[in-house]
Structure 1
Amino acid sequence: DSPWSRVRQAMAWHGHVVVHANWRDWLRAAIADPQLRPLLGARDWQRLNNLQDPEARDRFAASRLLVKHTAGAALQTPPETVELASKAGGRPYLRGCDQIEVSLSHTRDLLVVGLNRRGRVGVDTELADRRIQYSAVQRHLCTPAERRWLGGLDEAEQQRRLVRTWTLKEAYTKALGQ
């Protein structure tokens, strides 16, 4: 029972799957693969080589490979046949495969990929200990009811709930395609 067989099962039974990985662990195996260039494809290989920051390059390669392997498992096709592209606004999609929606997120070492064949999908991830200055984001992020609710919490709980609210709203916004 491999992780990829579980991806196939989840897509068959539920119509959606969310996969997460540490991009550094994922990358170690990928970089050693002599088929990295054909697996990434010409477009992503060029994007990879245009990135100047080594960590950004590594994270980009790992994210593309995780999407390709996840989508390949879901579609029961080799990952090198999966081509990831971006719509206007940056929303990822699988070129030539309009039956599966894709969402991707990363924070530090964590990568998250969501696939859904029943509608839009949005994933987001944040560090649980991320500090968000409530006073700076409350008017843009929170509804009046959420501001009242968050305003009544002690600072530690407010931070915890604010990060969770932020993450949920980011995922929702991605699902809407914005």
Structure 2
Amino acid sequence: MFKTIADAQWRVPHADIDLTGNDVHVWRASLSAPARTVQRFQEALSVDEVVRAARYAFAHDRDHFIVARGMLRTILGRYLQLRPGHLRFRYNPYGKPALTAGAGYEQLSFNLSHSHGMVLYAITPTRAVGIDLEQVRDEPVCEQIAGRFFTPQEHAGLCAVPSPMRQAAFFTCWTRKEAYIKARGDGLSHPLNAFEVSVGPGAPARLVRTHNNPAEAEQWSMLEIEPGQGFVGTLVVEGHDWNITHLQWTGDH
């Protein structure tokens, strides 16, 4: 099963935004922020998040991590009507974050991905969700990477794409595969060649088959996200019959 969108309509949310059972909200934001905003976000982080931020060798990367986590806390806090610093996270064995159970607030499923100064967040109240974002850039060995990590069908499909479009096709395929394993929550312990996604310009985002459990492919929806010029993205959601809303972070939240 799959959905497509020709042009994502990113809009500024209303103050009283709601998230109901079949909703999936995808937020888009820039990670560039003035020093005072970085400081404000850092003050809302947990000790372990501050420690993780300090591990970055370059201030640019450290600030992007702080902003990405600070915005995540702010967005989730908006839905839950909680201050960003009051949220607590847990992580599964593969590093996927979730809100801590039993902390006095309802659960939300969420996922995030950032690339070269842009970040996407996917949030839903009832379903497993994964999202991935990549900047399309020159990758001279994309065919070799695909030959090593993709299925033979995906590799052949990529090689059949005309050369001027091959970089975009490679990164689009990569986001489809990453979003799926992020939705499953098992990270790269799930081999990238254990399932197949659609490949090629104009091919609707689709989970074609899963090799270990053929029925699983029908349990997920895959949607191409258009984050902006020079970027590609994919959203994977458990089940079907859900409604997506594209939201733009403005900093006034």
Note whether the superposition's TM-score is higher than 0.5. Answer: yes
| Deviation string, structure 1 residues 135-175 (Cα, Å, up to 9, x no partner) | 31223443333233222222112222111111111111111
| Deviation string, structure 1 residues 91-129 (Cα, Å, up to 9, x no partner) | 111223673222121111011121222221111111123
1:91 aligned residue (96, 111, 122): 96
Residue 98 to residue 53, structure 1, CA distance change in 2 (3 Å): farther
Once residues 13 and 175 of structure 1 are traced to their aligned partners in structure 2, the CA distance between those partners, rounded to angstroms, is 18
Q: Which amino acid aligns with 2:153?
A: A
2:66 aligned residue (58, 61, 65): 61
Deviates more, 1:84-93 or 1:164-173: 84-93
Check whether the contact 2:90–2:97 (CA below 8 A) recurs between aligned residues.
Answer: yes
2:87 is the alignment partner of 1:82: yes
2:11 is the alignment partner of 1:18: no
2:145 aligned residue (137, 141, 145): 137
2:13 is the alignment partner of 1:3: yes
- TM-aligned CA deviation for residue 32 of structure 1: 5.2
Residue 61 to residue 76, structure 1, CA distance change in 2 (3 Å): same
Check whether the contact 2:143–2:158 (CA below 8 A) recurs between aligned residues.
Answer: no
Gaps of 5+ in 1: none
SS in 2 for 1:114: strand
Once residues 14 and 98 of structure 2 are traced to their aligned partners in structure 1, the CA distance between those partners, rounded to angstroms, is 20
2:125 aligned residue (101, 117, 123): 117
SS in 1 for 2:32: helix
Aligned length: 173
TM-score (norm 1): 0.81
Deviates more, 1:144-153 or 1:163-172: 144-153
1:72 aligned residue (77, 84, 98): 77
Check whether the contact 1:16–1:118 (CA below 8 A) recurs between aligned residues.
Answer: no
Greater than 6 Å deviation, 4+ residue runs: none
Once residues 150 and 51 of structure 2 are traced to their aligned partners in structure 1, the CA distance between those partners, rounded to angstroms, is 40
Q: CA RMSD in A?
A: 2.6
Give the aligned partner of residue 205 of structure 2.
none
Give the aligned partner of residue 47 of structure 1.
52
2:38 aligned residue (27, 31, 53): 31
- Which structure carries more relative contact order (alpha carbon 8 Å, separation 6+)? 2
Once residues 143 and 52 of structure 1 are traced to their aligned partners in structure 2, the CA distance between those partners, rounded to angstroms, is 35
2:109 is the alignment partner of 1:101: yes
Give the aligned partner of residue 176 of structure 1.
184
Once residues 84 and 100 of structure 1 are traced to their aligned partners in structure 2, the CA distance between those partners, rounded to angstroms, is 11
Once residues 46 and 138 of structure 1 are traced to their aligned partners in structure 2, the CA distance between those partners, rounded to angstroms, is 35
Percent sequence identity over matched residues?
22
Structure with the bigger percentage of helix: 1
Check whether the contact 1:72–1:82 (CA below 8 A) recurs between aligned residues.
Answer: yes
Check whether the contact 1:4–1:70 (CA below 8 A) recurs between aligned residues.
Answer: no
TM-score (norm 2): 0.59
Residue 29 to residue 4, structure 1, CA distance change in 2 (3 Å): farther
SS in 2 for 1:122: strand
Residue 16 to residue 132, structure 1, CA distance change in 2 (3 Å): farther
- TM-aligned CA deviation for residue 41 of structure 1: 2.8
Q: Which amino acid aligns with 2:120?
A: V
